[in-house]
Amino acid sequence: MTRKPSLVLNRRQALLAAGAGAATLAMPTVLRAQDKSLKVGVYGGYFKDSFDTNIFPEFTKATGIAVESVAEPTGEAWLVQLEQAGRAGVAPADVSMMSQVAMRKGLQTELWQPLDPAKIGNFDAILPPFTVKYDDGRVAGVGAVAWYITLVSNTDAFPEAPDSWATFWDADKKDKLGLLALVSNSFLLEVTAKTFFGGTDILSTDDGILKVMDKLAELKPNVQLWYRDEAQFEQALKSGEIPMGQYYHDVTGLAAADGFPVRSTFPKEGGISDSGCWAVTKASQKLNLATTFIDYMTQPEIAGLLARKVGTAPVLKRDVLDLTDKEFAAVSSEIEPIVPRYDLYVEKSDWLNQKWTELIVG
Amino acid sequence: MSAPARTNASGQAALAFPAVMLAAFFVVPFGLMIAVSFFSREQGGFYTPVLTTANYQRFLSWFFADILLFSVGLSALVSAVCLTIGAPFTYLLSRLPRRSQVPWLVAMMAVLSLSEVIIGFAWSTLLSRTAGLSNLFVAIGLMDGPEAWSPSFTAVLCGMVYQAFPYSILVLYPAFSRLDPSLSEAARTLGASPVRAFFNVIVPSLRNALVATFIIVFVFALGAYLLPQLLGRPQHWTLSVLITDQAVYQSNMPFAAAMAVFLVASSLILVLLSTMFGGRREAK
Amino acid sequence: MSTLDLVAVTKRYGDIVAVDDATLSVPPGSFVCLLGPSGCGKTTLLRIIAGLESASSGEVKFEGERIDATPVHRRDFGMVFQSLALFPHLSVRENIAYPLKIRGRGKAEREKRVAELLDLVRLPGVADRPITQLSGGQRQRVAIARALSVSPKLFLLDEPLSALDAKLREAMQVELRQLQERLGITTIVVTHDQREAMTMADAIVVMEGGRILQMDRPIDVYRKPASPFVADFLGQTNCLVAKPGKGGAEIAGGTIPGLQLGAGRREAEISVRPEDVVIRPAGDAPIPATVEFVRDMGSAVEIYLSTEAGRMIAQRASGHDALAVGDEVSLSIAPDAVVVFSEGVAR
């Protein structure tokens, strides 16, 4: 789901905020000189700042379309705003970056205007999990950015890199793990299912989910910290206070490059892949401009730019990209990822949340 | 002839302002919250204004009763600790010459300017295994090896007391500094030791201030949602943490509102109980 | 043997000397007033006696034993504070019984004692009232009763009557003195009111600037003040400068026949109380004067006079011939009514 802005800036955000601050002074977000303009909703904070700095000016230069970027609030408030605006016929944004769960919720109310794949040059290069379609096959959203949550560890505490998520369950990990606190952002049900039950299909039934939760409950003694705030775990991981856990692949890589004793590992079961889509709300009158925007954003060069400047994983196939192996490894992996069962978080959100809270609090 | 009428009108105007403010910033939001708590949750959407009691039914379970009880108990404990440390501290502070009081008060106010996040991070570092106090104890030979004291219940308590302590001083200080210093001197000339004089005379004469402090810290602690996350294990998460989860992460406003109504109701009941308890002695 | 002895007691706060070398003996059963203007150190001295302050140097002895190191709550002295310091959260009964309760006395004994004390201070029937419902005079009595409830060895009062109105204050002065005589308890009262001191005390200790200037019976302090300050502080007085003259002493513009200033003194400061200044018709007496102002207070008349030696005040019982402003008169002063100060003349 959505990556939440951290309570405390982590290093990457701080660096970027500094750069964005300087850039904002020189250049207003809205380029009024242009006749054609497009309102683009992006997660507020890190994403918006980096898009404003690195991506949107290039787009305006290439297409002559001015971009007014709108900061999306966290949670699903943006979806609610789009729904309400849709009924009123006014669009707070033409194109929005939406979480996978929000995309699926929008499908139910036909919130998204269908996109024409023919007008998106690299549509076929987009990896299938990143495209969201209506039941009848119409395209509702196209992959925008992706990121991985992987198995991270402190290299001082664990000289050998672990190779499987199963290592979390080992007795010697007592009080050593830091895991995300919410069912909808940790995706630990999928991890457990893939690691011990041969895949995420078991999650299709309530009984299956409860069985997976029982397995997950065995993990509790090993968890020192159930975190909501990224910076708290990042700090603890770097110092070795909490030497193992799940965390973002890109940020961990940056910390390692800075000399901190941390590593990010794609276990053999795969890293957890999460992503956002570009989608056009039905209230927008600018489907054509929006399609031009999406077409631009799905070019391999732009995916490369995003990988290098923003640190997100490409949603395109590896072979069309101009990334070096090192650049690719910094943001992604060719091991088949664990793809979250987003449908669960749409259909069973409250039930899952209740069971999950009982699981870890109880 | 018009003069009294005008005074009356301006008197009402003066009352109107706080009334409007109260309505705008308390009655209306609280009313909205109660209304939302009866609305239907739309899974995969937001909520629709169709009345239902489902949100309350979901809350009425041992699971949430347990959490509510824990939250109330934790807040009461934070209040009690703040009073236990704060009352003697403020008493001694108010007996110092005014010039020596200032640095203490400034230091207290400085803590107020710290955000919950900074306090949480500072305490989690202070109580950590890798950089915390236990290393100091190891260095002076009191412990064999460093230990992680956070996350734990003690860590949550320390963080919350640290955060609430300046507020308790803020409420206690005026009452203590107005207190007639000859009260405790009188008790001593009558045969009471200084400690006994403090408990027999100072504490009861400041009863109202102490009750007020307890209530303020209690309500303040009940609203804390970051420190229990940052310093506690899941079993130390308060109702406020779960409300935040529902409101921010689950977008389940009706259920969050229902939980908040319970939280407000239980704190109101406790406030009423403590003022009644405080008032009964007064009337005697 | 005296009950309380202070030997060279000094109290300094930084550079400020609040009590300067105070030496004092209080005989058993006596009623002593510490009298002086505000800031003279009398309250500090009382607090040192009570143990609420410790002396910077010197000794405090009680019945011959040094008590400097004895904490307040073990001294068993009763004290009434200027603010009274009644415990607002307790009833009258609980206030008075407080010291008894601390000493572990039984309930029956406490009840009996509270009743006795309320009788003693003439305040029956208020035992169950909260302090907040008492009048100023009633609170005063409760404070006294509380201080006396364990029969203290020494009874200390710090400006106890200052909060009362004038009439009530005068009545309480008499009552307090009668109470003390009945109990025979050694008592020390701090006051700035000379009338209060004159009314109640066996002995008055006059203080100024931290020093004890004089300790004597009230009438002696009044009649034989040790210094012009004492003379001036206790009632009104006429302070004059006198020189030796033929057959007595001379003041500016007049003489006091028969007054001896002491061998070899070329001038001396003298004090004459207003009631010792006798007014006669002009020319009948050695000091000519003019009436400046007449203050008729009913029981007595004060006459302000201008003389060459400056303004003088005379006082006489009413019933004499009325004087009017501007009348020329003359004054006579009997030599035995004059106090001659041994100090030099301050200019």
Weakest mean pLDDT among A250-254, C109-113, C196-200, C301-305: A250-254
Helix residue ranges per DSSP H, chain A: 11-26, 46-50, 56-63, 77-88, 100-108, 183-186, 188-196, 206-217, 230-239, 249-257, 287-297, 300-305, 325-331, 342-347, 349-361
pLDDT at res. B275 = 76
Q: Which CATH number fits the domain that encloses residue B98?
A: 1.10.3720.10
What is the domain range of residue B72? 61-251
| Structural domains for chain A | 5-146+274-331 (3.40.190.10), 148-272+337-361 (3.40.190.10)
Report the C-alpha gap between A112 and A281 in whole angstroms.
5
pLDDT at res. A250 = 85
pLDDT at res. B89 = 93
Question: Taking CA atoms, what residue in B is nearest to C74?
Answer: B191
Report the C-alpha gap between C105 and C278 in whole angstroms.
62
pLDDT at res. C318 = 81
Whole-structure pTM value? 0.77
Task: Give chain B's domain count.
Answer: 1
Chains touching chain B through at least 3 C-beta pairs below 8 angstroms are A, C
User: pLDDT tens-digit profile of A306-329?
Assistant: 898 888 899 999 889 989 998 898
Question: Taking CA atoms, what residue in A is nearest to B253?
Answer: A77
Is B3 contained in some domain? no
Does residue A16 carry a pLDDT above 80?
A: no
List, as one string, the DSSP characters of A54-116.
Answer: IIHHHHHHHH-EEEEEEEEPSTTHHHHHHHHHHHHT--S-SEEEEEHHHHHHHHHTT-BPPB-
Report the C-alpha gap between A186 and A228 in whole angstroms.
10
What does residue C171 show for φ and ψ, rounded to 5 degrees?
-65, -40
Mean of pLDDT over chain A: 86
Residues 41-100 of C with CB under 8 A from B: 50-52, 71-79, 81-83, 85-90, 98-99
User: pLDDT tens-digit profile of C327-336?
Assistant: 999 999 999 8
Q: Do B45 and A80 touch (CB under 8 A)?
A: yes
Cα distances from C131 to residues A131, B90, C147, C304, in angstroms, run 81, 26, 15, 48
Where does the pLDDT of residue A105 fall: very low under 50, low under 70, confident under 90, or very high at 90 and above?
confident
pLDDT at res. B279 = 56
Task: State whether residue B129 sits within 8 Å of chain C by CB.
Answer: no
Percentage of residues of chain C with pLDDT beyond 90: 66
How many residue pairs bridge chain A and chain B with CB atoms within 8 Å of each other?
Answer: 88
| Structural domains for chain C | 4-232 (3.40.50.300), 236-346 (2.40.50.140)
Is B42 contained in some domain? no
Is B37 contained in some domain? no
Question: A and C: touch, per 3+ CB pairs < 8 A?
Answer: no
Chains touching chain C through at least 3 C-beta pairs below 8 angstroms are B
Weakest mean pLDDT among A205-209, A279-283, B8-12: B8-12
Percentage of residues of chain B with pLDDT beyond 70: 92
User: pLDDT tens-digit profile of B223-255?
Assistant: 888 999 999 999 999 999 999 888 877 778 899
Mean of pLDDT over chain B: 86
pLDDT at res. B3 = 45
Residues found in chain B = 284
Task: State whether residue B178 sits within 8 Å of chain C by CB.
Answer: no
User: pLDDT tens-digit profile of C204-214?
Assistant: 999 999 999 99
Nearest-neighbour CA in chain A from B130: distance (Å): 6
Where does the pLDDT of residue A102 fall: very low under 50, low under 70, confident under 90, or very high at 90 and above?
confident
Strands A223-227 and A177-180 come out as: parallel
Does residue C267 carry a pLDDT above 90?
A: no
Where does the pLDDT of residue B4 fall: very low under 50, low under 70, confident under 90, or very high at 90 and above?
very low
The pLDDT of B111-130, averaged and rounded, is 89
Report the C-alpha gap between A265 and A153 in whole angstroms.
8
Q: Do B190 and C89 touch (CB under 8 A)?
A: no
Query: Pseudo-torsion of CA A340, A341, A343, A347, nearest 10°?
Result: -110
Task: State whether residue B187 sits within 8 Å of chain C by CB.
Answer: yes
**Which amino acid is residue C29, in one-letter code?**
G
pLDDT at res. A5 = 47
The pLDDT of C153-171, averaged and rounded, is 90
Where does the pLDDT of residue B2 fall: very low under 50, low under 70, confident under 90, or very high at 90 and above?
very low
Task: State whether residue B182 sits within 8 Å of chain C by CB.
Answer: yes
Which residues on B lie below 8 Å from A230 (Cβ)?
none
Which residues on B lie below 8 Å from A74 (Cβ)?
248
pLDDT at res. A301 = 92
Does residue A343 carry a pLDDT above 50?
A: yes
Nearest to B185 by CA among B172, B168, B197, B170: B197
User: pLDDT tens-digit profile of B61-103?
Assistant: 999 999 999 999 999 999 999 999 999 999 999 988 888 999 9
Task: State whether residue C347 sits within 8 Å of chain B by CB.
Answer: no
The pLDDT of A263-288, averaged and rounded, is 93
Does residue A159 carry a pLDDT above 70?
A: yes
Report the C-alpha gap between B221 and C9 in whole angstroms.
53
Nearest to C131 by CA among C96, C175, C180, C176: C96
Is B270 contained in some domain? no
Report the C-alpha gap between C207 and C153 in whole angstroms.
24
Report the C-alpha gap between B76 and B215 in whole angstroms.
9
Q: Do B151 and A225 touch (CB under 8 A)?
A: yes
Complex ipTM > 0.90: no
Is B111 contained in some domain? yes
Q: Which position has the higher pLDDT, A34 or C292?
A: C292
Does residue A8 carry a pLDDT above 60?
A: no
Is B86 contained in some domain? yes
Is B18 contained in some domain? no
**Which amino acid is residue B222, in one-letter code?**
L
Is B26 contained in some domain? no
Query: Which secondary structure element, helix H or strand E, spans residue A227, and what is its range?
Result: strand A223-227
Which residues on B lie below 8 Å from A175 (Cβ)?
148
Percentage of residues of chain C with pLDDT beyond 70: 98
Does residue A34 carry a pLDDT above 70?
A: no
Of B130, B233, B251, the CB nearest to A76: B251
User: pLDDT tens-digit profile of C168-195?
Assistant: 899 999 999 999 999 999 999 999 998 8
pLDDT at res. A338 = 94
pLDDT at res. A22 = 43
pLDDT at res. C66 = 93
Where does the pLDDT of residue C8 fall: very low under 50, low under 70, confident under 90, or very high at 90 and above?
very high
Report the C-alpha gap between A144 and A186 in whole angstroms.
21
Report the C-alpha gap between B143 and A89 in whole angstroms.
68
